[in-house]
């Protein structure tokens, strides 16, 4: 979707104080030297008791709203994205975020789209802001905390390491420090079973009290004789390439025109071959090496990356930022953002 009147007016982030390093996890028997060498993560942040995903998202959201300079009555939508358990069962974390940020009577929606949740939420909020002219802004947040015994941040997945934290954007149809030129989302539902495997359905979450092992579903899927591994990899690579190609076309730019490329904080091998190698992205244009100190922060990586670019990478008016994310399902979202001015808070 090409946009002419969609802006980012504020960015907010929150990271817990406690730091846990890869070496500490190895010493505790929760990680291995082999995974350290393969995946490249250095450390991450660990949420304190009570710092649930929505609690952290509300902190990041308040910062984004304050930085935007917009009043609460200008907001007509709140969208919250997450991966992890949100602190309680069968409740509405998006409404909690709304109540603790902008309030009001606009709707609050929750997006669950795996690792792509935040950018999917941005895409949905953009359409809402663009079509509803009775208000001028939307708050989009993401917040996750990964705790035992439900989830082991170090070994519930072979490649990803999961840190805690949150991020937020304020979208506006009037003004902002950056203009969103285009957003494009693309899905390949033939890959849905890849993250489900062939397991039997359960009647409740966490039925046996065991720590989640996301690799189990993948291994189950790959062991099926009907699965073509090469075809699966080609589809995933194709989705990344297609979503990027389409958003660049809609924004009327080439990849080389962008000064910054923001992607999720994936394992080193995936970032090197599945992003930089596959797409021709220059690693120095990313925030990847900087963000190794946080690992993969749920769905909030791109908000953290943009906040870092604004604060530390000296963006100039006219600079273009490409954002790319993906999530199981399988869904990809890409966006092109143009910096209009240095934001007032930098």
pLDDT tens for each residue of 222-256? 666 666 667 866 778 888 899 999 999 999 999 99
Confidence (pLDDT) at 223: 65
Average pLDDT, the chain: 92
The Cα-based distances of 71 to 67, 103, 104 in angstroms read 11, 11, 11
CB proximity list for 140: less than 8 A, separation 6 or greater? 78, 79, 80, 81, 118, 121, 122, 125, 168, 169, 170, 171
Alpha-carbon span 218 to 36, nearest angstrom: 21
CATH fourth-level superfamily of 7-177:
Thiolase/Chalcone synthase (3.40.47.10)
Beta-carbon contacts of 164 under 8 Å, excluding residues fewer than 6 positions away, are: 15, 16, 44, 45, 46, 47, 51, 56, 144, 145, 146, 297, 298
| CATH number assigned to the domain covering 181-339 | 3.40.47.10
* Prediction pTM value: 0.93
Residue 91 is encoded by which pair of tokens? 């409740």
Residue 9 is predicted with a pLDDT of 98
Q: In the beta sheet, which residues pair with residue 111?
A: 81
Residue 278 reports pLDDT greater than 70: yes
Q: Residue 334 above 90 pLDDT?
A: yes
Domain(s) of CATH 3.40.47.10: residues in the chain: 7-177, 181-339
Residue 170: partners with Cβ closer than 8 Å, 6 or more residues away: 8, 9, 10, 11, 64, 65, 67, 68, 70, 137, 138, 139, 140, 176
């Amino acid at each position: 979707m090409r946009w002419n009147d969609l802006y980012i007016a504020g960015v907010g982030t929150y990271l817990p104080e406690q730091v846990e390093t890869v070496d500490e996890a190895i010493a505790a028997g929760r990680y291995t030297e082999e995974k350290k060498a393969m995946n490249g993560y250095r450390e991450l942040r660990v949420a304190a008791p009570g710092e649930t995903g929505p609690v952290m998202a509300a902190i990041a959201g308040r910062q984004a709203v304050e930085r935007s300079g917009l009043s609460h009555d200008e907001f007509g939508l709140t969208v919250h994205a997450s991966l992890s358990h949100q602190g309680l069962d069968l409740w509405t974390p998006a409404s909690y975020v709304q109540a603790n940020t902008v309030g009001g009577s606009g709707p609050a929606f929750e997006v669950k789209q795996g690792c792509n949740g935040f950018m999917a939420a941005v895409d949905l909020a953009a359409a809402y802001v663009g079509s509803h002219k009775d208000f001028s802004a939307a708050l989009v947040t993401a917040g996750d905390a990964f705790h035992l015994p439900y989830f082991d941040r170090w070994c519930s997945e072979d490649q990803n390491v999961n840190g805690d934290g949150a991020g937020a954007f304020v979208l506006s149809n009037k003004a902002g420090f950056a203009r969103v030129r285009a957003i494009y989302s693309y899905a390949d539902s033939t890959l849905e079973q890849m993250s489900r495997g062939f397991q039997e359905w359960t009647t409740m979450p966490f039925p046996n009290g065991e720590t989640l092992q996301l690799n189990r579903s993948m291994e189950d899927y790959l062991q099926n004789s009907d699965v073509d591994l090469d075809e699966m990899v080609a589809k995933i690579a194709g989705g990344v390439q297609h979503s990027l190609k389409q958003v660049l076309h809609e924004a009327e730019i080439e990849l080389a025109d962008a000064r910054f490329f923001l992607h999720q904080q994936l394992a080193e091998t995936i970032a090197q071959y599945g992003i930089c190698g596959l797409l021709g992205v220059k690693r120095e244009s990313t925030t990847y090496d900087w963000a190794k100190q946080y690992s993969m922060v749920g769905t909030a990586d791109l908000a953290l990356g943009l906040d870092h670019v604004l604060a530390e990478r000296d963006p100039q008016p006219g600079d273009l930022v490409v954002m790319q994310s993906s999530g199981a399902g399988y869904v990809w979202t890409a966006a092109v953002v143009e910096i209009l001015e240095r934001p007032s808070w930098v």
